[in-house]
Amino acid sequence: MTTTSAIATEGYDIDLYYMDEDGFLDSADNYDADYVATAPSALEADNTLVSGSTVKLTFDVTDQFGQPISLSGTKALNVELVANDSDDLELTAAVTNGKATFTFANYLAVGQTDTLTASVFTGSASAPTYLDIAQEFVNLYNTPAAAAVSVPTSQSTAVTYADFITGTASATNVAPTTDDDTVYTGTVVDANGAGIAGSLVTISAAGFQFRKYADGAGTGAYFKDSITVMADTNGQFSVQYWVHEASSTGKALTVTSGGKTATTTVKSYLPENLGGDNLSFSWTLPANVVKNTTYAVVVKLTDKWGNPVSTIGSGTAGVSVQGTGAVEINSLATAVTRNFAKDGTATVFLRSVKDIAGPGEITATLGAATYTTWDGSAVDSDTLTDLGTNTTNNAATAWDETKWSSELNAPIEVLENASSIAKVNVGSFNGKLVVYANGYKGKKISWKVGGRWGSAVAATDTARFDRPTPRRGVDVVVELYVDGVKQLTKTVRTR
């Protein structure tokens, strides 16, 4: 039930109905519901531990439903922030859109700590009325010089197929899940090896998604390529990260704090259960095929980020390629199977049936082959899954899943000879521009030179059209069209 006109103390009688286990409509007891006006209920700091020469702190004020609130009834809300000794720090800030923000110079000497207390009130700073909301306590530090940053030498993780985001996650800003994240932890220490509480730490790695990790869970906003967090009371910091690029040699993740730097090599692998939702299957075919001539056909398999997928072992092959009609693969009438190499490619050779010109077809079919993966603890292997045609696009991802098909087909017309290959060209000699059209009998050939147009219909498969040039030794841009479709743009020096 929804109402847009509820007022305080207004009540409703609600009858509830449900389907019983026999499928019949039944009713529950009558319920009374009273509308309760929203009111300030909680105060929370974005960080309960802060440091640095200049400190920025933001507090969220929410109602009993967890939503931002800036008024108590009709009275504006404010937040007071006070140090243990109010002579050191005593500030107030208005609450706007549920947030109150403070920026101040750190008054502590190096190595000192203090506790700040935040309270919500209405009225003026000189005559505040404090609300019955739990105060929030923040530890302030002025950290000593860092001697080192201790981090793992290496880590491994699986590629995620979630899109990366920045800012706060929402229904329209969909964040990666914890199914494919990795938690990264390090410690900032002083000259005695003790952790430095409150140290500011920046973790950077190009192509990574980051989020702060604390108390066993991710928290706060999402960042790309770099994130700055604060070490806890033990000098320890933790973040979640996700990657899109697979790299068995590893990418450098750099950590900086207090002028000290450390690096971790992060190796990344394709995940388990890789399938059609996240794959790209393509090939490169010759533009023209002449009989009794051999052509390379390169078939390629990558994931949706462009990571090559290599297939391994002697089981099901990565791809099966077959020619029919006037064409064969590797001079065989039957299918040819190949595994994909480390670069995600497999090469076969297309050729006409001996002395045969005419129509044919080539088909490549992906197999449920074995590939290298990361199982969460070690390098492992898995098989490709869901290799049919995908007809459903997941609107929550930027990738269009309906582009996927595990089978590629293309018609091949085998030509008698190279002179049958359709093409256009232009040159210049003896004071003329000469347009050549090969294989376009009956087609309208158009050319544009210096803004002027000319056209003619090709009467034969080998046609040429001359046009006088006004002067020689000049570079002109010529555009050539066949039936209105541009085929060539070429700069020609008139001769």
Mean pLDDT of all residues belonging to the chain: 91
- Inter-residue contact 354 to 244 (CB < 8 Å): no
Choice between 42 and 18, residue whose per-residue pLDDT is larger: 42
Is pLDDT at 23 greater than 70 in this prediction? Answer: no
Q: What is the pLDDT of residue 254?
A: 98
Name residues whose C-beta falls within 8 Å of residue 274's C-beta, 6 or more positions apart in sequence.
303, 309, 371, 373, 382, 384, 385
First to last CA, the chain: 84
Is pLDDT at 5 greater than 80 in this prediction? Answer: no
Is pLDDT at 390 greater than 90 in this prediction? Answer: no
Which fold would CATH assign to domain 422-493?
Answer: Immunoglobulin-like (2.60.40)
- Inter-residue contact 483 to 444 (CB < 8 Å): yes
Q: What is the DSSP string of 311-376?
A: EESSSS-SEEEEEEETEEETTBSS-EEE---TTSEEEEEEEESTT--EEEEEEEEE---EEEEE-S
Q: What is the pLDDT of residue 17?
A: 61
- Inter-residue contact 60 to 98 (CB < 8 Å): yes
Domain 40-141 coded CATH 3.30.300.10: no
Most confident of the following: 211-220, 344-353, 412-421, 457-466: 344-353
What are the tens digits of pLDDT across the range 472-489? Answer: 889 999 999 999 999 999
Is pLDDT at 394 greater than 90 in this prediction? Answer: no
Is pLDDT at 2 greater than 90 in this prediction? Answer: no
Q: What is the radius of gyration, based on Cα positions, of the chain?
A: 35
Q: What is the pLDDT of residue 14?
A: 61
**Residue ranges matching CATH 2.60.40.10 in the chain:** 148-269, 276-415, 422-493
Q: Quick count: other Cβ atoms within 10 Å of Cβ 217?
A: 10
Is pLDDT at 36 greater than 90 in this prediction? Answer: no
Q: What is the pLDDT of residue 98?
A: 97
**Residue ranges matching CATH 2.60.40.3450 in the chain:** 40-141
Separation of alpha carbons 364 and 49, rounded Å: 59
Choice between 111 and 177, residue whose per-residue pLDDT is larger: 177
Beta bridge mates, 354: none
Cα–Cα separations (whole angstroms), residue 116 to 68, 80, 82, 232: 23, 10, 6, 16
Separation of alpha carbons 269 and 157, rounded Å: 6
Is pLDDT at 342 greater than 80 in this prediction? Answer: yes
The pair phi, psi for residue 418, each rounded to 5°, is -65, -30
Mean pLDDT of 364-374: 95
The pair phi, psi for residue 277, each rounded to 5°, is -60, -25
Choice between 153 and 424, residue whose per-residue pLDDT is larger: 153
Beta bridge mates, 297: 348
Mean pLDDT of 170-184: 92
Q: Quick count: other Cβ atoms within 10 Å of Cβ 389?
A: 10
Domain 148-269 coded CATH 2.60.40.10: yes
Element housing 487 (H / E): strand 485-493
Separation of alpha carbons 391 and 398, rounded Å: 16
Percentage of residues in the chain having pLDDT higher than 90: 73
Q: What is the pLDDT of residue 12?
A: 58
Q: What is the pLDDT of residue 206?
A: 97
Q: What is the DSSP string of 251-315?
A: EEEEEEETTEEEEEEEEEEPPSS-BGGGEEEEEE--S-EETT-EEEEEEEEEETT--B--EESSS
Q: What is the pLDDT of residue 461?
A: 78
What are the tens digits of pLDDT across the range 278-301? Answer: 999 999 999 889 999 999 999 999
Is pLDDT at 22 greater than 60 in this prediction? Answer: no
Name residues whose C-beta falls within 8 Å of residue 123's C-beta, 6 or more positions apart in sequence.
75, 78, 129
Q: What is the pLDDT of residue 128?
A: 96
31-35, 110-114, 144-148: range with lowest mean pLDDT: 31-35
Q: What is the pLDDT of residue 4?
A: 56
Separation of alpha carbons 271 and 159, rounded Å: 6
Beta 462-468 vs 452-457: how paired, if at all? Answer: unpaired
- Inter-residue contact 204 to 226 (CB < 8 Å): yes
The pair phi, psi for residue 109, each rounded to 5°, is -80, 160
Q: What is the pLDDT of residue 432?
A: 87
Q: What band does 6 get if pLDDT is binned at 50, 70 and 90?
A: low
Q: What band does 265 get if pLDDT is binned at 50, 70 and 90?
A: very high
Mean pLDDT of 178-197: 94
Name residues whose C-beta falls within 8 Å of residue 220's C-beta, 6 or more positions apart in sequence.
46, 211, 212
What six digits make up the tokens of 202?
A: 């920046």
The tokens 């229904």 sit on which residue? 171
Q: What is the pLDDT of residue 344?
A: 97
Percent helix, percent strand, percent coil in the chain, to nearest 5: 0, 55, 40
Q: What is the pLDDT of residue 97?
A: 96
CATH class for the domain made up of 276-415: mainly beta
Mean pLDDT of 376-399: 87
Is pLDDT at 400 greater than 60 in this prediction? Answer: yes
What are the tens digits of pLDDT across the range 76-99? Answer: 999 999 999 999 999 999 999 999
Nearest to 129 by CA among 77, 85, 60: 77
What six digits make up the tokens of 244?
A: 């899109």
Mean pLDDT of 426-454: 89
What are the tens digits of pLDDT across the range 73-82? Answer: 999 999 999 9
Name residues whose C-beta falls within 8 Å of residue 438's C-beta, 6 or more positions apart in sequence.
419, 421, 422, 423, 424, 461, 462, 463
Q: What is the pLDDT of residue 398?
A: 84
Half-sphere exposure of 329 (CA within 13 A, CB side): 22
Choice between 19 and 169, residue whose per-residue pLDDT is larger: 169
Q: What is the pLDDT of residue 31?
A: 56
Mean pLDDT of 262-266: 98
Separation of alpha carbons 197 and 190, rounded Å: 10
Q: What band does 164 get if pLDDT is binned at 50, 70 and 90?
A: very high
- Inter-residue contact 364 to 323 (CB < 8 Å): no
Is pLDDT at 18 greater than 60 in this prediction? Answer: no
Mean pLDDT of 27-53: 80
Q: What band does 19 get if pLDDT is binned at 50, 70 and 90?
A: low
Mean pLDDT of 337-346: 97
Percentage of residues in the chain having pLDDT higher than 70: 93
